[in-house]
Amino acid sequence: MNFYRSAFFLVLSFLSLVIISVNATWTEGECLDEWTRRLSGEDVDRDNRNFTPSYRFIRAACEDKEVCRLGWTSWKDCCKRMCRKGDDYRRYRITDNQTGCTCFCNHQMKLFISLCKGRNDQDYSGSW
């Protein structure tokens, strides 16, 4: 009897992980819609905004399924792309306090996202 309970529990655990991982990624269309909404102003603090994304930029953000996720990782990738100028990749820093993300390029604020969901008080800096 314990064997069947254990097997049943393992199957349920596996199925729940599959469901969570499926929900963590978006289709390309959902990704384009979400990034367009986020980067075109609905979730952007307009007082701190000095970046206007092009459709090409948004499409680039949606090319990789790893980028098309909610959470801190997608904003890190977004920040890296924003801090690129030609072939020059500027240093960047992104701060996530779970209520907002701020992207800095060369010590200048590039974009403030008001609805960035990620791990609390996580700071990441580097170059790409």
pLDDT tens for the chain, 128 residues long, are: 676 676 665 656 655 544 444 444 556 676 667 666 665 554 444 444 444 555 665 665 555 544 444 444 555 666 666 666 655 555 555 554 444 455 666 555 554 443 333 333 333 443 32
Listed residue (51, 124, 120, 67) closest to 93, CA to CA:
124
Range of the domain at 88: 2-126
How many domains are there within the chain?
Answer: 1
What global pTM score does this model have? 0.31
d(CA 78, CA 58): 9
